[in-house]
Amino acid sequence: MPFTVTQPLGRVPSFAELQALAGQHGVQIHGDGRAGEFFHLGREQSKVSGNYRFEPDGRLRGEFIGNFLGKLAGTIVVQTGKAEVTITAKPFLLLEAVLKAKLAEALAEVCAQFTPESQAGFD
72-84: per-residue pLDDT in tens?
A: 999 999 999 999 9
pLDDT value for 44: 61
Sign of CA dihedral 23, 17, 38, 73: positive
Q: How confident is the model at residue 123 (pLDDT cuts 50, 70, 90)?
A: very low
Whole-model pTM: value is: 0.87
- CA 85 vs. chain centroid, Å, equals 7
CATH topology of domain 3-111: Alpha-D-Glucose-1,6-Bisphosphate; Chain A, domain 4 (3.30.530)
pLDDT at 100: 95
d(CA 88, CA 58) in angstroms, rounded, equals 24
Q: How confident is the model at residue 42 (pLDDT cuts 50, 70, 90)?
A: low
Contact 58, 79 (CB under 8 A): yes
Q: How confident is residue 120, by pLDDT bands cut at 50, 70 and 90? A: very low
Stretch 4-24: mean pLDDT? 94
